[in-house]
Amino acid sequence: MSEPHFSKSADANKGVILEQLQTVLKPDARVLEIASGTGQHALHFARNLDQVEWQPSDRDLNEYQLAETLANANLKNLASPIMLDVLHWPNLRPKFDAVYSSNCIHVMPLENLKPYVEGAAKSLKQGGCMLLYGPFKYGGEFTTQSNADFSRFLSETYSGGGIRDFEAVDQLAKDNGLTFESDTPMPANNQFLVWRKTAPESTA
């Protein structure tokens, strides 16, 4: 059996993100993780939030052997990963208490941001939260020069990649019935953002 893939950044930030999840999530929450990648966050959070049901997902379950890695953990509250492409977001039932992703929206093409937020909102229960971890711009400005440099790297490395404007994400959230709740500064010039689903879905 091949060695599991390893992300240094996921290992470095899992502790501080867990602290935020512990303040936001109810003990019996169901959480959908977008772009689970190597599965390090899914494993760490499921082990430390043993009453929370964690649903990993990714658009490609083979790239990092995600299913194999998670199955070997044998955790009852860790579901088998599902395939999820934000451009073709499935109608997931039952709905979730939270939709979470880390360092995701700045590596995907900008045009994927709108369907990401739309899909997250549709997958949330009333009162559920969209949780985003990563760097953001505010008022079109980077918070640090290192983030400006990082955004340039992203645009050169990933088609349509780059650090996103908080205001643009917040507007998409508002358009989909999500109300901004909190913005917590995190290490390495990152943020932990929370939006809550407050508007009922249209039945039209």
For the chain, what is the mean pLDDT? Answer: 93
Number of domain units in the chain: 1
Q: Is residue 180 part of a domain?
A: yes
3 confidence band (pLDDT: 50, 70, 90):
low
Structural domain range at position 176: 8-197
Q: Is residue 32 part of a domain?
A: yes
Token readout for 29 is: 């929450």
Q: Mention every residue, 6+ apart, whose C-beta is less than 8 A from residue 91.
A: 122
Token readout for 97 is: 């208490």
Q: Is residue 2 part of a domain?
A: no
As a whole number, mean pLDDT of residues 3-28 equals 87
Cα distances (angstroms) measured from residue 199 to each of 77, 105, 125, 174, 202: 29, 23, 11, 9, 9
Q: Which residue has the tokens 């959480």?
A: 31
Selection from 19, 10, 15, 18 nearest residue 38 by Cα? 10
Question: Residue 15 sits in a domain of what CATH number?
Answer: 3.40.50.150
As a whole number, mean pLDDT of residues 113-123 equals 97
Q: In the prediction, which pLDDT does 74 show?
A: 85
Q: Is residue 188 part of a domain?
A: yes
Tell me the residue type at 24: V
pLDDT above 70 for 201: no
Q: Give pTM, 2 decimals.
A: 0.94
d(CA 106, CA 164): 6
Q: In the prediction, which pLDDT does 204 show?
A: 44
Q: Is residue 203 part of a domain?
A: no
